[in-house]
């Protein structure tokens, strides 16, 4: 993964869709110029019509989340080349996706320093950890402190 320029954030998104499932899922992770995780999110949706619609919903949610968190210089990366071409005006937008793409384009047009681009997905070997990796440790510690404080009293 290439780091974003100084003062920028990179937000990678991905989606999971299966034609026989009633639910699909999306996720995103944002990192600073040093590769440190800032925020991440996962979410499920009720049945969406296609993988590309699921990708679009994931990107829309990531854009809304990063905007609410106050980030103004964000590079969004998706592994959906067709979607990236549609959102950037390099390919005709499918009629079913027009409202969703128009909403995303409107959202990113209000933030002049936001970009959305395609990044080729690499084949990753699954990894199992016996300890919490450094990049995820803070998230686990935060979750554990939330659980502990909710169980007190």
- At 150, the pLDDT band (50, 70, 90 cuts) reads very low
Select from 48, 49, 108, 112 the least CA-distant residue to 84. 108
Q: How far apart are CA 28 and CA 42, in angstroms?
A: 7
pLDDT at 22: 74
pLDDT average, residue stretch 91-113: 81
pLDDT at 32: 93
Mean pLDDT of the chain: 79
- At 38, the pLDDT band (50, 70, 90 cuts) reads very high
pLDDT, greater one: 132 or 100:
100
- Hey, what domains does the chain have and what are their CATH numbers? 9-127 (3.30.420.10)
pLDDT at 62: 93
pLDDT average, residue stretch 120-143: 57
pLDDT, greater one: 74 or 146:
74
Residue 125: DSSP 8-state: P
Residue 122: DSSP 8-state: P
Residue 35 has pLDDT above 60, yes or no: yes
pLDDT at 33: 92
3-state secondary structure of 30: strand
Q: Two tokens at 35?
A: 């590769």
Q: Give the helix ranges, DSSP H, for the chain.
A: 51-68, 81-87, 98-109, 134-151
pLDDT average, residue stretch 99-110: 81
Q: How far apart are CA 79 and CA 117, in angstroms?
A: 9
pLDDT average, residue stretch 59-76: 90
Distances (CA, A) of 135 to 30, 38, 42, 49, 131: 12, 10, 16, 33, 11
pLDDT, greater one: 121 or 84:
84
């Amino acid at each position: 993964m290439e780091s974003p320029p100084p003062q920028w954030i990179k937000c990678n998104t991905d989606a999971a869709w299966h034609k026989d499932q009633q639910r699909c899922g999306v996720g995103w992770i944002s990192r600073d110029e040093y590769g440190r995780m800032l925020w991440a999110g996962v979410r499920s949706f009720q049945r969406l019509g296609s993988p590309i619609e699921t990708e679009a919903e994931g990107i829309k949610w990531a854009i809304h989340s990063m905007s609410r968190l106050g980030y103004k210089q964000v590079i969004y990366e998706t592994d959906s080349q067709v979607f990236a071409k549609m959102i950037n005006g390099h390919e005709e937008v499918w009629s079913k996706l027009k409202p969703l793409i128009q909403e995303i384009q409107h959202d990113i047009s209000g933030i002049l320093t936001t970009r959305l681009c395609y990044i080729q997905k690499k084949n990753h070997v699954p990894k199992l950890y016996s300890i919490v990796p450094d990049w995820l440790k803070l998230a686990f510690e935060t979750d554990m402190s939330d659980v502990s404080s909710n169980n007190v009293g």
